[in-house]
Amino acid sequence: MTLLAGFLRSLFIHRETLILENLALRQQLATYKRTCKRPRLRMFDRAFWLGLSKLWRKWSTALVIVKPETVIRWHRQGFKLYWRWRSRQKRLGRPTIPREHIEFIIRMSCDNPSWGEDKINEELRVKFGISHSTSTIRKYMTWRRPRHDGQKWRTFVKNHSHELFACDFMTQYTALFTTVYVFIVMEVNTRRIVHCNVTESPALDWVKIQIRDMAAFDRKPRFLLHDNDGIFGQFGRRKDGFRCHLDRWLSTTMYIEGLPTPYHAPNANPHVERFHRTLRQNALNHFIFLNAAHVGGVAREFIEYYNRARPSQATHAIPDPYPELIDRPLAGGRLIALPVLGGVQHDYRLAA
């Protein structure tokens, strides 16, 4: 409105006055250009110059605040936005099916969890004359978790924990950057560590020797839980019902049933995994090791304390307590602390 009023006013003033006014405005515009190099333009300002460029041939001679190429770029951007708006799609994807059909699909999938989209498609087409693609029916189906006929893995481990051992490897680095492998076997029911040994070169034959030693000095379990480590001689596919060479050797030689965990499921063997963290935090992280024998000595000393003097938070008991810890403690005894691993851990007792 201000520009329109100024244009109408210029029609009724003298030519000399109009020339002097243009000169004064140009001088002020030149001063403003020196002080502000990049003025901020609004959408209306851009629309004004776009319209003026179509009405006046010499519009570029009066343009000061921006370059003529900028106005041309505005014009191209405006056309691009206009044609993008004209070519837009009203609605994307397939048209929505009637609400009544959606309710039919939801009702059938809820009442019959075993039905798939093909079964529901045939039911609708034959009985109601409703025809939709299977992908559309799958979109509106109500999915339920399939029912397991057998017991869950957690239930199996709990029911057979008294005859189930679990084993796994963990790694420890020495001061010379040598990798030492610590092999642990745990009795799941009591959380007792029944076997521990270390090596720098683990192999399947070495693992067999450890299991023989464990069975010779301890009672033999019915099940041995392990992961899918390549050390156990993994088969490309199951052979004779076994996933790895270790399971076949356990069954034919040791009469132990090997239980490999599912692939990408470390939580299926949580008890040994949790002991690895306990061993690392409470013992191994406090030492700089020189060789594999050093790692084995620290691990065995901590396992002796873990089995016979450390209460387990899972079972609220000591796995294999010392004889003096089985009896009732002395009344009014004096508290003493027996250092473990040079004072890294302490075994507390009551002395007379």
Transcribe 328-352 into DSSP letters. Answer: PPPTTPEEEEEEETTTTEEEEEEE-
At 177, phi and psi to the nearest 5?
Answer: 60, 35
331 domain-assigned = no
Give, rounded to a whole angstrom, the gap between the first and last alpha carbons of the chain: 104
* Domain identity same for 115 and 26: no
Place of tokens 């029944």: 194
> Structurally, how many domains does the chain consist of?
3
What CA–CA distance (Å, rounded) separates 84 from 88?
Answer: 6
- Judgement on whether residues 175 and 121 belong to the same structural domain of the protein: no
Query: For position 77, what pLDDT does the model report?
Result: 82
70 lies in some domain: yes
Q: Kindly state whether residues 78 and 105 are assigned to the same domain.
A: no
Contact 333, 351 (CB under 8 A): yes
5 part of a folded domain? no
Residue 211 within a domain? yes
Alpha-carbon gap, residue 188 to 167, rounded angstroms: 10
Phi, psi (degrees; rounded to nearest 5) at 14 = -70, 155
SS3 195: strand
Same domain as 307, residue 239 = yes
Query: Residue 339's closest CA among 326, 350, 351, 348?
Result: 348
> Do 68 and 211 belong together in one domain?
no
Number of neighbouring beta carbons within 10 Å of residue 251: 15
Q: Beta 345-351 vs 257-260: how paired, if at all?
A: unpaired
Residues 52-91: pLDDT tens digits? 777 777 667 666 667 777 777 877 888 788 888 877 766 6
Q: Is there a single domain that holds both residue 107 and residue 33?
A: no
Given 3-state DSSP classes, what are the helix, strand and coil percentages for the chain, each rounded to the nearest 5?
Answer: 50, 15, 35
Task: Tell me whether residue 18 is in a domain.
Answer: yes
Q: Do 187 and 223 share a domain, yes or no?
A: yes
- Asked if residue 316 and residue 222 are part of one domain, the reply reads yes
Query: Is 148 part of a structural domain of the chain?
Result: no
pLDDT at 289: 96
Specify the pLDDT at position 93.
Answer: 67
Please compute, for residue 231, the number of CA atoms within 13 A of its CA located in the half-sphere on the CB side.
19
Which CATH number belongs to the domain containing residue 209 in this structure?
3.30.420.10
Range of the domain at 46: 13-83
In a shared domain, residues 174 and 252: yes
348 occurs within a structural domain: no
**126 and 192 fall within a common domain:** no
Q: Average pLDDT, whole number, for the chain? A: 84
Low-confidence ranges of the chain (pLDDT < 70): 1-16, 18-19, 21-23, 25-40, 44, 49, 58-59, 61-65, 89-94, 144-150
Residue 180 lies in a domain: yes
Tell me: do 163 and 298 sit in the same domain.
Answer: yes
Verify that 105 and 180 share a domain, yes or no: no
Per the CB < 8 A criterion, the answer to whether 28 and 65 are in contact is no
